[in-house]
Structure 1
Amino acid sequence: MADALSLIPANVFRNLADKLYEKRKNAALEIEGIIKQFALSGEHDKISAVINLLTSEFAGSPQANHRKGGLIGLAAATVGLGTDAAQHLEKIVPPVLKSFVDQDSRVRYYACEALYNIAKVVRGDFIVFFNKIFDALCKLSADSDPSVQSAAHLLDRLIKDIVTESDQFSIEEFIPLLRERMNVLNPYVRQFLVGWITVLDSVPDIDMLGFLPDFLDGLFNMLSDSSHEIRQQADSALSEFLQEIKNSPNVDYGRMAEILVQRASSPDEFTRLTAITWINEFVKLGREQLVPYYAEILGAILPCISDKEEKIRVVARETNEELRGIHANPADGFNIDAILSIARRELTNEWEATRIEALQWISKLLVRHRNEVISYLNCTFDSLMNALSDSSNRVVLLVLEVHACIAEDPQHFCRLIELLVRKFQRDRALLERRGALIVRRLCVLLDAERVYRQFSLNLEHETDLGFASVMVQALNLILLTSSELADLRALVKQSLVNSSGKDLFISLYSSWCHSPMATISLCLLAQAYNHASSVIQSLCEEDINAKFLVQLDKLIRLLETPIFAYIRLQLLEPGKHTWLLKTLYGLLMLLPQQSAAFKILRTRLKTVPSYTLGAEQLKRTSSENPYSQILQVTEDSRTQYTTIDFQSKLQKFEQMQHRHRLHSRSQLQSPNLSSSTMSQEIQISEESRESSPQPEIMQHPSGPTWNVPGQLRT
């Protein structure tokens, strides 16, 4: 210390700590001259002693004016050293950098000024301190004092000039610091960082593109900044990098794809648009390189397909088509399970467009990688089943197409029908709301006869008898009314003259027994009128409840539709179709007289031509084969046919109905059934019995006569 004080005149040290700037400046000029003389004579020990004194007694002083003097003195010493300054920078720069965080704003200002003058002298030799200087400038860019900010900007521009012309700058050492600072939210710091990224990217010898994944996320963060200027600067920088990517053969798409996927779900619209635009370019440019990231990319694209912003939707759809057009194999890292997982997840997306595209992906994977997709079927089946409850018919139809594609294999077909039955059992509302759509579409996609046979097989042994009855009634109504099932109806009509029709009738009958009205409908469709009459006669009063009457009402109304036109035409020949007439009268007798259905059927029967059946004819009709007319047609067409064992069928029907009656009684005894419901059903049943009209039978010389209401007896 003593040696240093002897090297510099005492008045110079006093002026260096003076509160007046001019005195400090003059003192600094004198120090500059003294140091210059020491440098010329090579007396570096003396130079070090002066620098140490300026650092300890001035720059590190508790007095603000001393610290200001120390800073200007260190800058003057550097100027005096000139080309020899490099060997003393280790002692000169650290105290200046330390002053950047001084509590006194004027000290921080002079620190900027001092470092500016030092940098002008040493230029490239300054690079060794770059990271520390960058860190200090990063903080000063957000300084609360405008004058300090201004001084920091001047210093920043100089440092940028030095770096761009230096061949000693290490981008590898700088990137970790940049990555750390990219998460700062201060707008001034963000501007500072974007400025540096842009400058460094403009230097041909610095490969900023190779390190883009390290700070890409930070740039995307800035796209949602509240400052328009910062958003614009970040967007400009990103646009420049994207252009470079298009022109570069070697790009690390993978790391950046992970970042873009996250940003594609940003709440900020502009960020989402930029991210999805980048993903679009990546898919076009990277293609096979992105195979391991397909699932993540798809997860970002599918939600954007339904984005509220049209620009995003357009780009997302284009990207989705590009991605779907790339053929990739599991051997190349194409993760089918991950893709399916994303598609399943998006099946619950709130937007229809996204759910549809998710189903399209499952369908596409089934076509290209069927075996692999089938191996993950356990997870996929549940999601597809749940999707049948979707609010959109378009989605449901696509789900059914996927199901049908899976069900091409027999074992998966059986599983599909079983799962559908269980789905309808759990969700009766779905059966009521969508049952017809689902069954009809499956009949088109998978062959109606095959579908109905399997449904019947599953329902035949259903233990939930209440559900089985409801399900059979639904299937029966679909069979009778759907245009898609016209061929199946035609085959059922041939049940008595065609072996295929017979097999179908037998297959359906076992489960149709769960519902009396469905059984009667099936018999009417098959023209098995004798058996239909037998089924009606087998019904006891316990079978005729409110639900039965509702189904009967539906059937009567169906009889008036074009589907049953052949029955109405057969009524023109009552002598030829006696059992049909008896069946219809049987239905009429079951209806409450005051009901609309009763009036409809009675009106129809009034139009039947008058026909009287004598005792001998009735005896002959009862004893002969009731299907002799049909068998005659069969004989003429030379078709071999074996009659159906209707007696055993009737027994099966009666057994099934007995089971249902026992089930109903147990339900009535259950405490879960409200007394109001019970009384209501009993009341309806009693009213139905009391209002049922009785057949008019009169004694005729030749036997009993069935008199058609409204016709005169002869």
Structure 2
Amino acid sequence: MESNYAPLTEACAKALSDKTYEKRKAAALEIEKMVSEFNKAKNANQIRKLLNLLGNDFSISRDSNKRKGGLIGLAAVSIGLGKDSEKFINELVRPILNCLADPELKVRYFASESLYNVVKVARGAIVPLFPDIFSALSRLVTDPDQSDIVTESSQTFDLDSFIPLIRERVYPNNSFSRQFVISWISVLNAVPEINMVVYLPEILDGLFQMLEDNMVEIHRMCETLLSQFLRSIQNDPNAADMAKMSNILIIHAQSTNELIQYTAIIWIRDFVQLSGPKMLSFASGIFTAILPCLAYEGDSRKHIKETAQAVNKTMLELVSSKSDMSQIFKHLDLDSIMEVLRQYLAHSSVDTKVAVLKWIHHLFTEAKDKMSAHASGLFPVLLGILSDNSDEVVLQGLIVLAEIVDTTNTTDTNINKTHYRKFLISLLNLFSEEKPFLENRGSLIIRQLCVLLNAEFIYRTFAEIILEETVNVKFASIMVRTLHTILVTSSELFELRSQLKDIRNEKAASLFQCLYKSWCHCPISTLSLCLLSQCYQHCSELVLIFGDLEITVEFITEIDKLVQLIESPIFASLRLTLVSNNKNRADAKHLSQALFGILMLLPQTEAFKCLSNRLQCVPNYWGMPNEVNDSQSIQCQSKIDFNDLLNYFQKIQRNHHLHRINQRKRTVALWDGEISKDGR
């Protein structure tokens, strides 16, 4: 009599329904052997009869053990059929898909395992059923009990073999596939016995790419998962291989997708805080990622900019003299860092350029010796920065230049004159080549240099360069006028002005003579310098010589400005000299003569009236030559040879006169040439 479970034997059917997995597995092996023989004999009827039994009896039984047996039996049939499984694919797969929705957790687990075995054997034959399979799996990944399956099997779960499968599938373009992968990673991450952070470097790149999915749900799931991973790293930084993940984060921090970029920069921020100096090995990459973010404007990307600023601030704090710098520089690749910083000096954003300049200054401050090799390469770039439209950028550039100049000779306490001179020559060349640059930025640059460096030496060096190396007398005149205006009006030069007021002091006298010879290129600046230095007798002699000079509109304008300057607070002491006591009457007499001489040079303008009114308040020193002792004047008490200076002034002015004559000749020659061309 045929068994009710034909073609299975009673014993096999009973074992297949047993509660123990081992007995069900033994029965499955018997089924596999049986099906293999049926297939060789081409006995399709028996195979279909067996599939019907397993699919319509076992797999829908009320007994869960019997359903489990049906599932393992279906997998055994597929293995027994091998490539011929495609002939029976519907009978094999449909019952399994139904069991994926089984109310019992373990049945769903065995259904997943059975489906895997069938698909592995049938391969391409399952394509027609793929929509149904995918739908069933999608429902399964949202199964709240699936983590329990993994948890219960965590001791036997081969994670090392499973992670490569995840890694291979972490780059899908299909949203549903992404959802499937994210769900599985979330399940594994939720298992206490499994530390997914260890495997994070292998899947992090794919997770970040999923953030650009068009489905909001995928964004939410992926953001949640990444947040969980980051929280795990924060709780146990030693468990994470931050070095392996850093380059991945740097790449995504440059993404055009705001969510990806923001998330990556948050991770970088936390890595820098958690890992400390070790992250400095990635400094050049981090700069490449965050420096452009500092340029962001508007509320839409404000959060990205603020996070990038936080990263930058923490990085600056890491490279600090408070730290062990020998350890810090083990991680810093200065060559690659400087390459990136130089690149971003050309960025259009003010905030980015200022941040770069602050970094360069910081590196020179903290590592003078190591950064000295980069000084020469930075010099031309930084000089170019001085032409920037932003005052903030220019000022920060000057701070860096000043630091470089001061750090080029770190072993010597004296000022490195050679490097100062080289820098100031380059600056003067820039002023000479670009007149708008001198007009718009000259005063700002010179004033700040005097604050940052040694004001006296700055002025001495400028004067020496103009005297020795400037061929263009017209530019020399303009430059002297600029330097003198800054000298007599800028609050930053107060100490230098005070020093020049007493040329009886040898150091002040030396400075005065140095400036005077260059100042000779501009007569009114020379006169003003002498007024400032209280060389009043020489002032009166200069004014007399002015009568022999070519009086131009520009000359009169400069005298007009000088009168305004005399009325300013800076020359208050000069005005008081006019009414001084007997001790200073020699200075008062010569000053009065000089001012009356200036008055005679002026046309009757407002400046004339102003100075005339001032001089009406002055005592008459003209009729008292015997009562004034010139030896008591400040000029006479100095050791300066003013006759020599006066001769030098006249020599320079003759050169200017010749220059003007030659220039006019060239202009006439050009006109003649143009007329000749027109005549032809």
| TM bin (shorter chain) | 0.7 to 0.9
1:584 aligned partner, one-letter code: L
Kept after mapping to 1: 8 A contact 2:85/2:122: no
Which digits, 9 at most, give the CA deviation of each residue in 1:290-324, with x for residues without a partner?
Answer: 23112322443444456444544444444333322
- Residue 651 in structure 1 maps to residue 647 in structure 2: yes
1:333 alignment counterpart: 331
Given candidates 566, 586, 598, the residue that maps to 2:573 is 566
> In the aligned structure 2, how far is the partner of 1:38 from the partner of 1:490?
106
What are structure 2's unaligned runs of at least 5 residues? 1-5, 8-26, 60-67, 102-106, 410-415, 672-680
Given candidates 259, 268, 271, the residue that maps to 1:270 is 259
- Give 1:244 shift: 2.1
Kept after mapping to 1: 8 A contact 2:537/2:635: no
- Residue 432 in structure 1 maps to residue 439 in structure 2: yes
Q: What SS is found at the alignment partner of 2:249?
A: helix
Q: TM-score with structure 2 length normalisation?
A: 0.74
- Give 1:37 shift: 11
> In the aligned structure 1, how far is the partner of 2:122 from the partner of 2:167?
16
What is the 5 A alignment of 1:52-63?
A: none
2:449 alignment counterpart: 442
2:610 aligned partner, one-letter code: I
> In the aligned structure 2, how far is the partner of 1:50 from the partner of 1:160?
41
> In the aligned structure 2, how far is the partner of 1:133 from the partner of 1:42?
18
2:79 aligned partner, one-letter code: L
2:643 aligned partner, one-letter code: Q
Q: What SS is found at the alignment partner of 2:239?
A: coil
2:316 alignment counterpart: 324
Which range moved further: 188-197 or 530-539?
Answer: 530-539
Which range moved further: 189-198 or 175-184?
Answer: 175-184
Given candidates 356, 364, 367, the residue that maps to 2:365 is 367
Q: What SS is found at the alignment partner of 1:552?
A: helix
- Residue 478 in structure 1 maps to residue 486 in structure 2: yes
- Give 1:122 shift: 7.7
> In the aligned structure 2, how far is the partner of 1:576 from the partner of 1:153?
101
Which range moved further: 464-473 or 404-413?
Answer: 404-413
- Give 1:476 shift: 0.3
- Give 1:352 shift: 4.2
1:437 aligned partner, one-letter code: L
Which digits, 9 at most, give the CA deviation of each residue in 1:384-410, with x for residues without a partner?
Answer: 333334444444433333333333241
- Give 1:508 shift: 0.8
Given candidates 115, 125, 138, the residue that maps to 1:153 is 138
> In the aligned structure 2, how far is the partner of 1:135 from the partner of 1:244?
40
Which digits, 9 at most, give the CA deviation of each residue in 1:597-631, with x for residues without a partner?
Answer: 333333333433345448xx59x99xxxx952226
Kept after mapping to 2: 8 A contact 1:131/1:177: no
- Give 1:218 shift: 2.7
Kept after mapping to 1: 8 A contact 2:71/2:96: no
Which range moved further: 522-531 or 170-179?
Answer: 170-179
Kept after mapping to 1: 8 A contact 2:587/2:634: no
2:675 alignment counterpart: none
Query: Residues 302 and 553 from structure 1, CA distance in 2 versus in 1: closer, same or farther, beyond 3 angstroms?
Result: same
- Give 1:210 shift: 2.7
Kept after mapping to 2: 8 A contact 1:667/1:673: no
RMSD: 4.7
1:585 alignment counterpart: 596
Kept after mapping to 2: 8 A contact 1:418/1:458: yes
2:383 alignment counterpart: 385
2:255 aligned partner, one-letter code: S
Kept after mapping to 2: 8 A contact 1:96/1:115: no
2:397 alignment counterpart: 399
Q: Percent identity?
A: 33
- Residue 254 in structure 1 maps to residue 265 in structure 2: no
1:46 alignment counterpart: 37
Given candidates 207, 215, 219, the residue that maps to 2:203 is 215
Q: What SS is found at the alignment partner of 1:505?
A: helix
Number of residue pairs matched by the alignment: 602
Q: What SS is found at the alignment partner of 2:633?
A: helix
Which digits, 9 at most, give the CA deviation of each residue in 1:617-672, with x for residues without a partner?
Answer: 59x99xxxx952226995xxxxxx52x22233223223323333344445445579
1:601 alignment counterpart: 611
- Give 1:489 shift: 1.4
Kept after mapping to 2: 8 A contact 1:83/1:122: no
Query: Residues 674 and 46 from structure 1, CA distance in 2 versus in 1: closer, same or farther, beyond 3 angstroms?
Result: farther
- Residue 89 in structure 1 maps to residue 79 in structure 2: yes
Q: What SS is found at the alignment partner of 1:407?
A: helix
- Give 1:260 shift: 1.9
1:546 aligned partner, one-letter code: V
> In the aligned structure 2, how far is the partner of 1:651 from the partner of 1:215?
83
Kept after mapping to 1: 8 A contact 2:450/2:492: yes
> In the aligned structure 1, how far is the partner of 2:92 from the partner of 2:348?
55
Given candidates 491, 495, 519, the residue that maps to 1:487 is 495
Q: TM-score with structure 1 length normalisation?
A: 0.71
> In the aligned structure 2, how far is the partner of 1:557 from the partner of 1:581?
17
2:22 alignment counterpart: none
Q: What SS is found at the alignment partner of 2:599?
A: helix
> In the aligned structure 2, how far is the partner of 1:231 from the partner of 1:98?
40
Which digits, 9 at most, give the CA deviation of each residue in 1:565-596, with x for residues without a partner?
Answer: 233233347876443333333333433x2533
